[in-house]
Structure 1
Amino acid sequence: MSGTWINLIFDITICLSLLIGAFFLISGSIGILRFPDVYTRLHAATKSSTLGVSGIMIGAFLFHYVEHDIVSGKLLLGIAFVLLTAPVSGHMISRAAYRAGVPLWENSVKDEYADVLKEEQKRQARDS
């Protein structure tokens, strides 16, 4: 009797993980289409892909563990890789876009990176 309840709980957990992952991927796709500038689009793409792909991979990991008694190291490494690299790559792409002169949306509240960039340029000019 308890085996069937445990299997039901695992099945619900797997389904929820897959649905949450799919929800984040779909909402990120909508955000990419709807947001006005490259920075907000990149934010939507980075956050949603990190959470969406991780949710789907966690669901796949749990499925393989429950159904086949396999602890997939590849899936665990994939989850860790996505969680570590997607935010860093999004940050680097947005910094490169800012340094290339891609303008912010006119309704952006604050440009905090402008002061940091000016200080860095002053320091580089002073040092050279």
Structure 2
Amino acid sequence: MTTESAAYTADIEAIAQVVAAVEHSQQHKDPDEFLALFHPEAVWTTAGGKVLIGLDAISAFTREVLPAADWDGKVTYEVVHVFFIRPDVAAVKVRQRYLSPGAESEGAPLYVMSRQADGRWLLTACQNTAVATA
């Protein structure tokens, strides 16, 4: 294994861990865990189209809606595709599923993530899109 492929594998794993942390924070409705995953100047667009610029705006929204969310914690997030725009910037396509008795919905978020100087990958520009049901 070359150093380049080892670094690629490590980055893919680190990105997958961020998505797993998003899943965990959503399952436990934990705003602090969720917010720790964001770059301070991040941009987030909700599935409803609300644009949030900067961690303060993302935090205010998240602290209001996440604890009050009406799902029972059964939500999954799966990395579908990773495209490295640059070695330290990745576009990450995610499959998001909310599972409740008698109802299921799906989202198709796109997370642009950036690797920080300390090696951590953070959510930097994200668009959460609801998947229309037929």
TM-score scaled by length of structure 2: 0.31
Structure of higher CA gyration radius: 1
Q: TM-score normalised to the size of structure 1?
A: 0.33
Structure with the higher strand share, 1 or 2: 2
Greater helix share, 1 or 2? 1
